[in-house]
């Protein structure tokens, strides 16, 4: 039996119930777990890959784990470490906040990264690194923390409370936590694709080793490629690339500014002395390049717009005005129904949910708590339940479900639009005066929801539908699921302190 199955469903140190494996690598296995002491809250527990054989090793682990935990309190861009210890088998573990989001590998592969996001993500990664490299005051001395395994899969992207994308760097100093004692044979800890030459050569490391790994990540974010095109993905080939081969320049098709390219290639210098000497230096250069890029784009945009058009915004409708001018479709009955609708505003495709209610109900719902959720039924017919809920204590819940058939053009179009949007709009039409939209509300579409929608859309393309009646079966199943979920949703809404919830 492998280590993963050994620990699954185990109650670790009489507190953390390990539920499922969510990550695995050379340094250990990560589980989603429930904290049985604190409201059964989800946490991530990493079981490290080697046991600690004596008290000296345990004490060193505790020291390094304490430093990592203290470090996580110093930066919002470092994943929070809330607990650590050694189990009855002398295997070390540590407990982190559970993150809903995607790692940078998935972001690069699935979504790609725009230049604006590149600057944002790079700055946030740098801020985490700068905090670590500056060190923690512990036991009377400053202890700098070198990551040693900085790579895209150790960089998580979540959405913060304001709906903005936030970087969380994982595993700071963990490679050092499981490093062998002096005199023992050391196994290599790190990921060869992203390691500095000096790390591969077994030399002492400082902050500049992490800067090399950062250069690899920045190169990959912009190009979706590595700086070398290796025929074989082996440790030996990566050793040769990092220690001997010159990184390729960016393709001219990417139109990367020369100063940005120079900065990244500088990070990839073989000698640490030739790289930027601190992350702060990189942040300054990124800020300067970003400002120059924005100014250049602004100048180009203004130059290409006819002078008369620069003053024409006054005569155009704002998005709010445009939504309020929406008309109830002539092919829809004048009754209380809910349906999805795609609209176009200044070349921007927007997803909306249209509903017809009494005028007084619309007015009473403007300050409601807002909730949305997406459910997927793949068999026998791919279909998504797009659920919008409005709730207040006086009037209760207003359930507004839409069913998206992924084998129809409109269903596919709505899902594609939602998966690329950070929000959608709920348009209210009064049944007394149904011609024009009376009001609207906006709803966020969170990163995890957008990722799910993309994946469900891809899955639906692989499903062959034999009979149209199968759509009725899937729709009926989703309706049953909704009825079962309603009490749980109400409970979640009533105990929440926020105005908007997403699941």
pLDDT tens digits, 399-435:
999 999 998 888 888 999 999 888 999 999 999 988 8
Name residue 102's beta-bridge partners: 157
d(CA 280, CA 246): 25
Residues belonging to the active site = 149
Closest-CA residue to 475 (of 398, 408, 391): 408
Statement: residue 310 has pLDDT above 50: no
CA dihedral 309, 313, 318, 324 (to 10 degrees): -90
Q: Residue 289 domain-assigned? A: no
Residue 468 in 3-state DSSP? Answer: coil
Segment 92-113 shows an average pLDDT of 86
Segment 480-495 shows an average pLDDT of 93
Who has greater pLDDT, 109 or 476?
476
Statement: residue 8 has pLDDT above 70: no
Q: What is the pLDDT of residue 312?
A: 30
Q: Residue 225 domain-assigned? A: no
Q: What is the mean pLDDT of the chain?
A: 85
Please list, in sequence order, all residues whose beta carbon lies within 8 angstroms of the beta carbon of residue 465, skipping any fewer than 6 positions away.
Answer: 380, 381, 382, 407, 471
Confidence of residue 28 (pLDDT cuts 50, 70, 90): confident
Q: What is the pTM of this model?
A: 0.60
d(CA 165, CA 107): 12
d(CA 222, CA 283): 17
Q: What is the pLDDT of residue 85?
A: 85
Q: Residue 262 domain-assigned? A: no
Q: Residue 185 domain-assigned? A: no
Indicate the range of 120-129, 134-143, 257-266 predicted with least confidence: 134-143
Q: Which domain holds residue 432?
A: 319-502
Q: Residue 280 domain-assigned? A: no
Number of domains the chain is built from: 1
Segment 344-365 shows an average pLDDT of 92
Per DSSP (E only), the strands in 110-177 are: 136-138, 141-143, 155-159, 165-169
Q: Residue 363 domain-assigned? A: yes
Closest-CA residue to 45 (of 30, 56, 67, 26): 30
d(CA 452, CA 378): 13
Q: What is the pLDDT of residue 208?
A: 96
Degrees to nearest 5, angle at CA 168 with 261 and 29: 110
Q: What is the pLDDT of residue 184?
A: 42
Segment 350-368 shows an average pLDDT of 94
Q: Residue 52 domain-assigned? A: no
Q: Residue 435 domain-assigned? A: yes
Who has greater pLDDT, 321 or 249?
249
Segment 351-378 shows an average pLDDT of 94
Task: Give tens-digit pLDDT for 447-459.
Answer: 889 999 999 988 8
d(CA 379, CA 463): 9
Confidence of residue 161 (pLDDT cuts 50, 70, 90): confident
């Amino acid at each position: 039996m492998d280590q993963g199955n050994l620990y699954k469903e185990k109650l670790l140190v009489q507190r953390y119930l390990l539920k499922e494996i969510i990550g695995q690598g050379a340094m250990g296995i990560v589980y989603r777990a429930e904290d049985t002491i604190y409201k059964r809250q989800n946490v991530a527990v990493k079981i490290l890959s080697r046991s600690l054989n004596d008290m000296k090793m345990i004490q060193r682990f505790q020291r390094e784990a304490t430093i990592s935990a203290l470090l996580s309190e110093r930066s919002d861009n470092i994943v929070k470490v809330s607990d650590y210890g050694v189990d009855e088998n002398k295997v070390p573990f540590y407990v982190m906040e559970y993150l809903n989001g995607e790692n940078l590998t998935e972001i690069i592969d699935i979504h790609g990264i725009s230049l604006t996001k590149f600057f944002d993500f790079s700055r946030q990664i740098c801020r985490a690194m700068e905090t670590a490299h500056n060190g923690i005051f512990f036991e009377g001395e400053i202890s700098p923390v070198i990551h040693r395994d900085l790579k895209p899969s150790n960089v998580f992207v979540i959405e913060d409370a304001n709906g903005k994308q936030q970087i969380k760097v994982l595993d700071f100093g963990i490679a050092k936590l499981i490093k062998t004692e002096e005199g023992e044979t050391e196994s290599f800890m790190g990921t060869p694709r992203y390691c500095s030459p000096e790390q591969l050569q077994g030399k002492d490391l400082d902050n500049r080793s992490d800067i090399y790994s950062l250069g690899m990540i920045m190169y990959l974010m912009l190009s979706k490629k590595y700086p070398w095109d290796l025929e074989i993905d082996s440790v030996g080939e990566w050793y040769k690339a990092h220690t001997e081969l010159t990184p390729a320049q960016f393709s001219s098709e990417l139109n990367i500014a020369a100063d940005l390219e120079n900065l990244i290639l500088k990070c990839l210098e073989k000698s640490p002395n030739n790289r930027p000497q601190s992350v702060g230096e990189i942040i300054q250069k990124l800020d300067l390049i970003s400002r120059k890029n924005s100014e250049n784009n602004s100048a180009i945009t203004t130059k290409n717009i006819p002078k008369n058009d620069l003053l024409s915004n006054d005569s155009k409708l704002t998005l709010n005005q445009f939504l309020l001018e929406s008309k109830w479709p002539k092919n829809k009955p004048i009754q209380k129904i809910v349906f999805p609708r795609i609209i176009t505003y200044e070349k921007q495709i927007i997803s909306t949910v249209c509903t017809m209610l009494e005028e007084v109900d619309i007015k009473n719902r403007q300050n409601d708590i807002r909730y949305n959720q997406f459910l997927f039924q793949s068999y026998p017919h791919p279909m998504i339940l797009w659920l919008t809920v409005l709730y207040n204590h006086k009037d209760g819940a207003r359930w507004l479900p839409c069913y998206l058939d992924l084998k129809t053009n409109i269903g596919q179009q709505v899902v594609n639009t939602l998966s690329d949007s950070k929000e959608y709009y709920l348009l209210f039409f009064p049944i007394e005066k149904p011609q024009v939209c009376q009001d609207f509300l906006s709803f966020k579409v969170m990163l995890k929801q957008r990722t799910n929608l993309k994946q469900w859309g891809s899955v639906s393309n692989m499903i062959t539908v034999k009979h149209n009646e199968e759509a009725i079966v899937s729709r009926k199943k989703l309706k049953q699921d909704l009825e079962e979920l309603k009490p749980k949703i109400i409970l979640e809404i009533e105990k929440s302190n926020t105005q908007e919830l997403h699941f």
